[in-house]
């Protein structure tokens, strides 16, 4: 009995919703945007393509084999060159930006930096040691950073010095 009463009441509630003709809703939809007109942006003006005649017969050919030969470096004016016969130190196999200074050690007047390499090894380096792939030599070890002088090739092929540093990682 309870089940029948529940079903009948549910049907009566739903039938009450269906009695309306929804004329007011239809009228609102028709009049809501009646006086509005959509604004359409005009298409951009397309300019005709202008042809260009390339006349470079009197210039050098960029694809000639003479341009593909490697230029010889200019002789160094300052006489600065790296020692290519020197035995490489372990930290010279890593790029300078991949090395991290994680601490310092000191005994008396001597100070060393504790350097973490990308392969997970830890190294001790002091003034005069080399690191990085650009012939970098440690000039000064402080508690905050390593000051390094690198020798790199400049745009003309000559060797120039460049100052770099590695700050301690906190």
pLDDT tens profile 25-38: 888 888 888 888 88
The verdict on residue 102 lying in a domain is yes
pLDDT for the residue 24? 80
The verdict on residue 57 lying in a domain is no
Number of domains in the chain: 1
Q: Which domain holds residue 163?
A: 86-167
pLDDT for the residue 17? 63
Other residues' Cβ atoms within 10 Å of the Cβ of residue 91:
20
CATH number at residue 113: 2.30.30.830
Query: What are the angstrom distances between the C-alpha of 163 and each of 25, 144, 152?
Result: 78, 16, 10
71 pLDDT exceeds 70?
Answer: no
pTM (whole model) above 0.85: no
């Amino acid at each position: 009995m309870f089940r029948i009463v529940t079903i009948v009441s549910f049907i009566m509630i739903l039938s009450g919703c269906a009695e309306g003709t929804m004329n007011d809703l239809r009228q609102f939809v028709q009049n809501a945007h009646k006086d509005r007109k959509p604004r359409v942006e005009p298409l951009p003006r397309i300019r005709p393509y202008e042809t260009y005649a390339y006349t470079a017969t009197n210039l050098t050919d960029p694809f000639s084999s003479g341009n593909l030969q490697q230029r010889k470096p200019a002789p160094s004016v300052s006489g600065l060159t790296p020692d290519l016969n020197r035995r490489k130190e372990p930290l010279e196999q890593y790029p300078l930006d991949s090395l991290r200074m994680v601490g310092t050690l000191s005994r008396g007047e001597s100070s060393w930096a504790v350097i973490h390499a990308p392969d997970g090894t830890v190294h001790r380096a002091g003034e005069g040691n080399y690191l990085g792939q650009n012939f970098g030599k440690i000039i000064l070890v402080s508690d905050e950073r390593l000051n390094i002088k690198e020798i790199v090739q400049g745009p003309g092929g000559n060797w120039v010095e460049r100052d770099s540093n590695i700050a301690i990682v906190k």
